[in-house]
Structure 1
Amino acid sequence: MRKASKTFLITSVIIMTLSGIGLYFYLKQLLQNEIEEELFSNKDRVEHLLEQNPNLLGVPPIMMAEKTEKPHKNILVDTLIYDPLQDEIELFRQLSGTKNINGQEYKVTVRSMVIESEDILSTIVFMFLMVIFLAFIFLFYLNKSRNKKLWKPFFSNLERLKKFSLKADSPLTFEDSEILEFYELNKEIKILTSKIQTDYRNLKQFTEDVSHEMQTPLAIMQAKIDTVINDAEINEVQFHQFSSLQSDISRLKQLNKKLILLAKIENDQFTANETISINNIVEETIENFKELTSIDIQLKEQNTINIIMDPSLATVLCNNLLSNAVRHNLNNDRILITIYDTKLQVINSGNETLDRPDQVFERFYKESRRKDSTGLGLSIVKKICDYYGFLPSYRFRASTELQEGQGKHIFQIDFNLKM
């Protein structure tokens, strides 16, 4: 609406300017033609009077007649002449020409003051512009108020569309509009949003069904393999094959759980937000990992970070960061977790930086060839951070920058955006 008003304003100003200029030159030409027509008429009158009175001298400086011997054609010029009545020099339009009257050549000169015509012309143009300007002001505010009324349903529907949620059970409703195009737009958007809601519910149900249905057969397969390994007499080759198959099933179960978790995050299914302490979550995570690994995990706390988020996602966030550090740590070196300001850092040793550090948080990105790596751990970290507005980052500190022999992979989460 503002753009339409701005366009109307600019267009109107251009039209007013061009109209004023055009009117000025048109009226100027019209007045000049009238003056010249009057001059020719006055010249004819003077010539007629000369036929009756050869000694007529005219009325200087308006009309003048004098005898001459050289005939010439009519000449129209602008000239400056002193006007004794006005006691100043004035601009006149002058017509001069000769006429043979009773065997004698007479030079007849008639003049008309131009200043008066210029004043008339200026007054006409000024009044025209004033009328156009007042009409423009009236039309501008009329158009603005009219547009506001016409566009009100559009902006109202736009606000409803901004608040639209896929999780809402009720369909999106719009305010009716008198404009056909808006009516058609509202109709199509209602159809589209209803279809999106239906697709979202179907996809959500499909995701939950797939998760449930896959877990059961995988668990059965794993139980049967355990039974075969424990009860049947198998050789060493078969044992390794069954063990490998069991590992693949476990990895498939883990991959399924992580994909389901990503889908739930994207579908906004975590709404149990509460104020939690990142420090406490990290401490619990470290205690759990100490039972699973012999790697020394050290926590350095310089600040306490309290944040509003789903506790289960906070646990997943810390678990995935520490799991990634443990999995890719070199030579069982010490892992350092630092909490300072609004940041959480997880640091583990490494020989060199990643080949594609800008892709480290992308789904299924892996540089390690470990079979137990799904490539989803850090992508889940990124998805949780995006969900809550946190800022994840990665950098590598080379060994030349440190006193220790190994370089360091540093993964950091900045919680500042939600503090």
Structure 2
Amino acid sequence: MVRLQAQDARSGGSLAHAPVNPLSNFAIDPRSVIVLTGVMSLVMSLVMFFLYRSAPPGVRGLREWMLAPAVCVVATLLVGARGLLPDLLSIVAGNMVVFQGALLFYAASQCFLDGRRDTRGWTAVTLALGPVMAWYTYVQPSYGARLVVATSVTSLLFTAHLRLYLRHGMQGFGRRFMVGVLCMEIVVLLGRLAAVFTGSAGSTLMDPTWIQALYIGMNALTVLLLSVGGIVLATDRVRAEFQYLARHDTLTGVLNRGALMDVFEAAVERARRQRTALSVLLLDLDHFKAVNDTHGHQAGDRVLQDFVAQLQGMLRAPDTLGRYGGEEFVVLLPGTELRTALGVAERIRSGIETSPGMLRYTVSIGVTELRRTPGETMDTLLARADQALYEAKRAGRNQTRSA
């Protein structure tokens, strides 16, 4: 692939040295680099395919990350066959497919960061690129003009891609990595434009020069790094989702019992250390078993989700809501004394009682507060709240009681 061409100039037994550009001693076959790019793209497409198949649905953009290097494989087949295929395929279609591959990487980032893709404008650019490439291939043949057009629109696309990440912030290694890769490719593209205007871009893509091999090699590296960046981002998102699922109830989205107990214990310690108030609400939906038996478990699930949604709208940002088990929930009210907590509980009870909906239901609530007595713990708080809830149930349900 690389041939070192050494020439000695000898005259009368003395060695004469002519000034030579060291880079000109290397003849590099761009077609070989294009083939290598295709192989790397195929490998990354397969890696993204298996990640796409195994990742949870919440990780968006993996389908586009899988398709982008696959499209790049098609692009390398078209571009690499220049001189073997008609120019309509190797030049016109080749440039369009190369641009579409870059566009799919952008679409993947849009899906991942924004939750949706909107590349309609850029798709129009792809379609417009075809006639322009055809013009400078058949009507007014000019390799330099084709190079300027293709490099300019690709630079604009990568700039838009970079702005997307900057707009969302660079939290985490994955995003910083993607920003670095995009900046690198923009610099390469601008350097290629500069090479056109300085006359060092060559006369065809297949010129066996170091600058062509460098450009094609950097494209291969960009495909590889953008795919790696997608893997890093997806892995971070999967890990975050698993961490979320480990601490949250899958039905209602609030803290599950284990996470609730951790937060509860920390809240008790903080309130005792800072000598501040802490109140606890233990809530239980009335006759919930009858809802499941009469209307089915799916209706019961909707009742729980509706209850949590209403409850979250009545709580402050510092308050904590968690599912204690079944139809029982716990609310922690930091900085809140018992009298105020009773007002909060009554507002919740009356709000649930009067809320419109296909299924009407009520809630009973037990309320207690942290006491400044030796031996007061999370367990004693819960025991008193449970006793208060029992009194509310015994009083006929749809009641609020304190202990």
TM range (shorter): under 0.3
Q: In terms of Rg, which structure is larger? A: 1
Structure with the larger RCO, 1 or 2 (CA within 8 Å, 6+ apart): 2
TM-score by length of 2: 0.24
TM-score by length of 1: 0.23
